[in-house]
Chains A and B, each alone.
Chain A
Amino acid sequence: MGKVDRALLRDVGAVALAAGVVGVSFGALAVAAGMPVWMAGLMSVVVFAGGSQFVAVGMVASGGSPVAAVLAGLLLNARHLPFGLVVADVLGRKWPMKLLGAHLMVDESVAFALAQRDPERRRAAYWLCGGLLFVGWNVGVVAGGWIGKTVGNPESLGLDAAFPACMLALLLPSLLPPKKEEAAEGAGPRATKARKVAVVGALIALAATPLLPAGLPVLLSILAVGVALR
């Protein structure tokens, strides 16, 4: 590993902890949707992609077909392919590391790796974030499953607000205008474009919600990329 300093450890720790809290909300939600705790835990270990887990379980819970749920989840996870092209170097050349490291590829670990300039620190940040997040997420999901079984209604703890809030916090940096010292390399126009796409995408999904089965509105939001093509 090497090259892990206190600041990095603190930041990664906070994100892993937040993932744990969102994990609790997923666990509680999955149990409320009729899933046994062990299955919610297994899903988190083998899928390990929060957004797609919420979408898939949410779709099935609101009457959607499992096939549509899986397709929606997969479409949401298709972003990992370009992610992988970007972070391929941090996984190293050895096969076992490549295969293991690929499973730790989530929005947060990719974002942390990209924030480091030094290759050694990139590797350390990716593995540390991916590893801690894996632990935080899965412990959170199982805990949430038990809480959901005991408390019954995860909404009384406000856990249904945790996931959108966390996603928004992750999304926000790419939407806000860059600070002065980072304003180089066309980051300003990129953020403006991203804001437009985000707003239009959200509106498309909301407008489509009464018309389409659950999950599809999120997929349809891809059309918002159109506003960036002009």
Chain B
Amino acid sequence: MTLLPILVLALGTYGFRVAGPLLSERLRLSARVQDLMSLATIAMLAALVATSTLVAQGGFAGGARAVGVLVGAVLAWRQAPFIAVVVVAAATAAGLRLMGVP
């Protein structure tokens, strides 16, 4: 990764962020379009969770990470605080690796 792609990503992202407030006075998205955009976001976030849990360098990332995320998921489902979800997920994966799970 070099500086140029980082700056392009930063500028483009800021463009998306600032466009909403600038457009909000003259543009109204229909409720249906807003609905579909939020569903597309959910699809991408879910895909991101799935791939970053299971995939590393094009192959299976190993059991330790998957179980760590799973434990975090259970905590999140039980409405544990964010920080607990994140720390316990990491600690579980680290612990499993200490025990030799890849």
Contact = CB atoms under 8 A, between A and B. Distances in A.
A56 interface: yes
Contact of A164 (B36, B37, B49): B49
Interface string B72-102: 1101110001110111011111111100000
- The SS class assigned to the B binding surface is helix
Contacts of B25: 88
Interface in A1-59: 14-15, 17-18, 21-22, 25, 30, 33-35, 39, 42-43, 46-49, 51-52, 54-58
Interface in A56-99: 56-58, 60-62, 66-67, 69-70, 73-89, 91, 98-99
A25 B72 CA distance: 15
Contacts of A229: 36
User: Interface size class for chain A?
Assistant: 35 or more
A187 interface: no
Given A62-B58, A81-B19, A70 B97 contact: no
Contact of B90 (A55, A62, A158, A222): A158
Of B7, B48, B73, which is in contact with the most chain A CB atoms at under 10 Å from its CB?
A: B48
- The SS class assigned to the A binding surface is helix
B51 A217 contact: yes
Interface of A: 14-15, 17-18, 21-22, 25, 30, 33-35, 39, 42-43, 46-49, 51-52, 54-58, 60-62, 66-67, 69-70, 73-89, 91, 98-99, 101-103, 105, 155-172, 174-176, 193-194, 197-206, 209-210, 214, 217-225, 228-229
